[in-house]
Amino acid sequence: MSVEHARITLEETRAAAGHSAFAADVRAGLAAERKALPCQYIYDARGSALFERICALEAYYPPRAEREILQRHGAEIVRELDAPCEVVELGSGSGEKTDLLLGALSERQGPVSYVPIDVSRSALEQSAQRMVGDHEELTIRALVGDYDSALASLTRDAHPRLFVWLGSSIGNLDRGQAARFLSKLPLRDRDQAFIGFDLRKERSVLERAYDDPEGVTRLFIMNVLERVNRQLGADFDLGAFEYVAHYDEDAGYVDMSLRSSGPQRVRIEQLDLDVELSAGELIHVENSYKYSPEEIESLAGVAGLRVERSWFDGGRRFCSVLLSRAD
């Protein structure tokens, strides 16, 4: 599919999952003492589609909680913005929740410029076509690539920007990484950031959310092995792995890994690499960090930011936070 619309432009920045980077990360991760594969490599077209299926599951509450916040408080949120502003979204995906924010912002300021960033070109193409059909005063400059390269390509627009990061995606970074990432966001004096945080809660709720009864999350996490098989000529036997999701209450994160059901040797042809796995050995794929309101305040402070406002869903499962530079 290609985008052909007067109000849409689509640009390729440096590919986040280029072949050489992918191969190097796979080699390093599987050669490490604690084997790991970066979660960013889950998100090819199939992985993105599986994640959209996860977001529709009853057990996976974050999308519903965040949507509730945007539905109930959208007008209030945009009143806090320095408008007119340009919206820059990190990891935009389908953009369905973003629709609520863009609609509320359009009612306040009229025409809206929207810059979605995602590693999946197909996801950007599909969401852009849908969004310009839904919003008459929306123009889109979609950027395909990783966050660093896409953010570096932003123009020197005089209007303030709102950086949007929904879906508690910040939870994929550990707390130190999250602080460093936020500190490097190119926030100017009038810019703001609107970020979703999943909150700490009971183990049973979290482990069910990340290991759903339908098994969709297992397919999603397993997609990283399928990608290694397809792109690097590996022979991972997907049936020889068990998906494991565990919540560490003290550290406050859900660990998502793949456990080898027995001893096995995997050949990765394009890397000329043989990987030995013992019975029960884990390949770590993803973490999802959870926050308390106090931890969000602390994170912002370490990153040189301040919390302007916070909004919660009715069950206080999720928190959406508006941030600005502290100085």
Residue 324: the pLDDT is: 97
Q: Which domain holds residue 191?
A: 8-14+59-201+292-325
Q: Lowest mean pLDDT: which of 5-9, 200-204, 260-264, 315-319?
A: 5-9
| Span 295-308, average pLDDT | 97
Q: Report which of residues 2 and 26 the model is more confident about.
A: 26
pLDDT digits (tens, 9 = 90+) for 128-187: 999 988 888 899 999 998 898 899 988 777 789 999 999 999 999 999 999 999 999 999
What average pLDDT is seen over the chain? 93
Residue 27 belongs to some domain of the structure? no
What pLDDT sits at residue 45? Answer: 83
> Quick check: 140 and 132 in contact, CB under 8 A?
yes
Which of 90-99, 187-196, 287-296 has the lowest average pLDDT? 90-99
pLDDT tens digit string along 4-22? Answer: 577 888 888 865 445 688 9
Nearest in space to 121 (alpha carbons), one of 43, 51, 19: 43
Residue for token digits 């945009």? 78
Dist. CA 46–CA 120, nearest whole Å:
10
Phi-psi group of 215: left, alpha or beta (phi > 0 → left; psi -120 to 50 → alpha; rest → beta) = left
* Cis peptide bond upstream of 263, omega within 30: no
What percentage of the chain has pLDDT greater than the value 90?
78
Domain-located, residue 223: no
In a domain, 131, yes or no: yes
Instruction: Tell whether 232 is covered by a domain.
Output: no
Angstrom distance (rounded) from CA 284 to CA 281: 10
Q: What is the CATH number of the domain that holds 301?
A: 3.40.50.150
Q: Does position 313 have pLDDT exceeding 90, yes or no? A: yes
In a domain, 277, yes or no: no
Residue 253 domain-assigned? no
276 CB neighbour count, 10 Å cutoff: 11
Q: In whole angstroms, give the CA distance from residue 181 to residue 24.
A: 22
Residue 275 CA, distance from chain mean position: 29
Burial of 60-98, coded b for 16+ CB within 10 Å and e otherwise, reads bbbbbbbbbbbeebbeebbebbeeebbbbbbbbbbbebb
- First-to-last alpha carbon distance for the chain, in angstroms, is 45
User: What span, in angstroms and rounded, lies between the C-alpha atoms of 18 and 152?
Assistant: 18
pTM value is 0.91
In a domain, 219, yes or no: no
pLDDT for the residue 16:
47
- List, for residues 229-240, the tens digit of each pLDDT value: 999 999 999 999
Q: Are 26 and 228 in contact (CB under 8 A)?
A: yes
What's the rounded mean pLDDT across residues 56-73? 96
39, HSE (Cβ side, Cα atoms, 13 Å): 19
Q: How many domains, in total, are found in the chain?
A: 1
CB 181 within 8 A of CB 188: no
Asked whether 182 and 299 are in contact (CB, 8 A), the reply is yes
Does 197 reside within a domain?
yes
